[in-house]
Amino acid sequence: MLVRDAMSTLVLTIGPAHTLRQAARLMSARHVGAAVVLDPDTYGLGILTERDVLNSLGIGQDPDHETAGTHTTTDVVFAAPTWTLEDAADAMSHGGFRHLIVLDGDEPVGIVSVRDIIRCWAPVRRRAATVG
């Protein structure tokens, strides 16, 4: 199975000036765990995850003053829609993260998460267990 079969095509894109509260509201409203942060003036594409917001709150930072740009991961590993789910899982495991931005050329076309991979693999594993 390929990344394009598992990825969410709902890509939330925000700017680096969004506050963490704004980012959290948008992620919550769209039921996504990550946002693509677009900053063409500095790093291009980055990612802000629910964990980034949680870590900021956990150390007592104010979500109304902290910006997405300050908490964005900019050394991102990108996936291609044609990667296998094994390739994506390997990249996540090696990098220690739970989301990959999926690029088609230079455009973000989706995000694949550990949850997406499990959702796809679980039925296959169940079928294999009942056959074998």
Three-state SS at 81: coil
Contact 18, 68 (CB under 8 A): yes
pLDDT in tens, 51-96: 999 999 999 999 999 999 999 999 899 999 999 999 999 999 999 9
Contact 102, 80 (CB under 8 A): yes
pLDDT in tens, 115-125: 999 999 876 66
pLDDT of residue 130: 74
E strand map for 1-132: 13-14, 34-39, 44-49, 78-79, 99-104, 107-113
Range of the domain at 45: 3-131
pLDDT of residue 124: 67
Number of domains in the chain: 1
